[in-house]
Structure 1
Amino acid sequence: MAGFAEEVVDAGYTVVMPSLFGKDGAGMTPLSTARALRQVCVSREFTKLRTGETTPVAGWLRSLARDLHAELGGPGVGALGMCFTGGFALAMMVDAPVTAPVLCQPSTPFVPGRKRAADLNLSPADLDIVKGRCAAGQQVLGLQFRKDPLTGTRFETLTRELGDAFIRVEFDGIGHSTVTTHRQQAGVDAVLAFFADNLR
């Protein structure tokens, strides 16, 4: 993740990586993953299974985006979520200056279950705001592997709800981490191009 962040810095952007859970710098091992999941499961800041609800941590992330935009200026802020945080970039669009939201393999609420697999981790009111911003010209970029069991049918929901405003980038196979562990260069290129189009 840090390596990908350095690429974004090299492309000319300021990057902030909020530490929401887990141990900073820890490798992705079964033990570190279990510890992070335990931390997530007891935290009230995250929704894990509930549908039709915006994750509570979105309020803090929106505040962070507003502060960064006030400090650095520019046309807006990019937000990129991965896996558990994949949908957070969508939630940040609600009342923050996020003009380049990227959803990499959004995986909450946790599947299984048809309803959870399709849920965007947003309340109906927040989804209406996102749809309004998209109708006014905002775009949303999404990346996933087509056979990733963790992303459920969220891309179908995004396509239905956002229409042409949702830019859908998909890769063959069962991988998961589109710009990091299972890196797809076409995905990295799509993210950097999306940032260039919306943040410069």
Structure 2
Amino acid sequence: MGLLDSWTEGSHTADGITRPTYRQGSGPGVIVVHEIPGITPGVVGFAEKVVARGFTVVLPSLFGRPGGPASVGESLRSIAGICVSKEFSLFALGRTTGAAPWLRSLARTLHDELGGPGVGAVGMCFTGGFALAMLADAPIAAPVLAQPASPAPLGRARAADLGLSPADLTAVKDKVSAGCQVLGLRYDRDPAVGTRFDSLRRELGDGFIAVEFPGRQHSTLTEHLQPEGVERVLGFLEEKLTAATRS
């Protein structure tokens, strides 16, 4: 049985771009955006935990081979594709990912179907900051940033950069000021995250909730799984999506 056989395969099209999606569950919507190299067993395992807690989960495939392993070879192939893509950038400063319009459209479509206060968005590693990009202009009620690692932390400016244009950063800050909280997870000595948590604290103030674990590991929800981190994410999604629907 294939890794994604129990998921319903579909697609979403926005601005002439069509990408595959995988869906499972029922309840409020949550978009889980995979890390490099793609929709790996670890990403699916996390997503299934979200499904089990009563959510409709959509896994978009942005790059890589859906269902492939989290191997060095798969990672190198994904990075090579990202480097030549017009949508993604490993190094750009003060720029929102080119995948944001497509992801925002997916979030709007899911929210239109399911209703409620909004949808959840979980980004990881290279896509960690994508949840903020979605929050800027989509009905995101529960944004989660797991070890945000883009742009690559080469130099002080990139290490601190949140992967947002100035206009999108303003939009995010406005939504946070209006009451939307942002959850972030990382290992406290993970060099890939750079100083972004300092930037998030500075820009978002008390609206940013930091969950930090000791160590130099990286993938808090998948390859270097922290069960406490998973529970914090699930609790955050329940508070913002399920409890809000009931109140």
Coarse TM-score class (shorter-chain normalised): over 0.9
Going by fraction, where is strand more abundant, 1 or 2? 2
Q: Which of 130, 135, 139 is the matching residue for 2:181? A: 139
Alpha-carbon deviations, 1:4-33, whole Å to 9, x = none? 111100000000111001111110111111
State the partner residue of 2:19.
Answer: none
State the partner residue of 1:97.
Answer: 139
Alpha-carbon deviations, 1:27-51, whole Å to 9, x = none? 0111111001001111111122111
TM, length-normalised to structure 1 = 0.99
Alpha-carbon distance in structure 2 between the residues aligned to 1:48 and 1:4:
25
Stretches of 4+ aligned residues off by more than 2 angstroms: none
Alpha-carbon deviations, 1:174-194, whole Å to 9, x = none? 110001111111100110010
State the partner residue of 1:60.
Answer: 102
Q: Tell me, yes or no, if the aligned pair for 1:145 and 1:171 is still in contact at 8 Å.
A: yes
Q: Which of 84, 106, 109 is the matching residue for 1:42? A: 84
Which letter maps to 2:235?
A: A
Q: Tell me, yes or no, if the aligned pair for 1:144 and 1:151 is still in contact at 8 Å.
A: yes
State the partner residue of 1:27.
Answer: 69
Identity of counterpart residues, as a percentage?
Answer: 59
State the partner residue of 2:220.
Answer: 178
Q: Which of 143, 161, 164 is the matching residue for 1:122? A: 164
Unmatched segments (≥5 aa) in structure 2: 1-42, 243-247
Alpha-carbon distance in structure 1 between the residues aligned to 2:70 and 2:45:
14
Q: Which of 182, 192, 197 is the matching residue for 2:234? A: 192
Alpha-carbon distance in structure 2 between the residues aligned to 1:21 and 1:113:
26
SS in 2 for 1:110: coil
Deviation at residue 95 of structure 1 after TM alignment: 1.4
Alpha-carbon distance in structure 2 between the residues aligned to 1:40 and 1:47:
7
1:87 and 2:91 equivalent? no
Alpha-carbon deviations, 1:101-129, whole Å to 9, x = none? 00000000012110000000000111011
Alpha-carbon distance in structure 2 between the residues aligned to 1:47 and 1:99:
26
Unmatched segments (≥5 aa) in structure 1: none
Q: Tell me, yes or no, if the aligned pair for 1:47 and 1:121 is still in contact at 8 Å.
A: no
Q: Which of 65, 78, 90 is the matching residue for 2:120? A: 78
TM, length-normalised to structure 2 = 0.80
SS in 2 for 1:16: strand
Q: Tell me, yes or no, if the aligned pair for 1:47 and 1:54 is still in contact at 8 Å.
A: no
SS in 1 for 2:63: coil
Q: Tell me, yes or no, if the aligned pair for 1:49 and 1:109 is still in contact at 8 Å.
A: yes
State the partner residue of 1:7.
Answer: 49
Which letter maps to 2:126?
A: F
Q: Tell me, yes or no, if the aligned pair for 1:77 and 1:199 is still in contact at 8 Å.
A: yes
Which letter maps to 2:191?
A: P
Which letter maps to 1:31?
A: G
Task: Map 1:150-169 to 2 at 5 A.
Answer: 150-169=192-211
Alpha-carbon distance in structure 2 between the residues aligned to 1:176 and 1:146:
9
Alpha-carbon distance in structure 1 between the residues aligned to 2:112 and 2:169:
25
Q: Which of 190, 203, 211 is the matching residue for 1:148? A: 190
Q: Tell me, yes or no, if the aligned pair for 1:107 and 1:152 is still in contact at 8 Å.
A: yes
Structural RMSD (CA): 0.6
Q: Count residues in correspondence.
A: 200
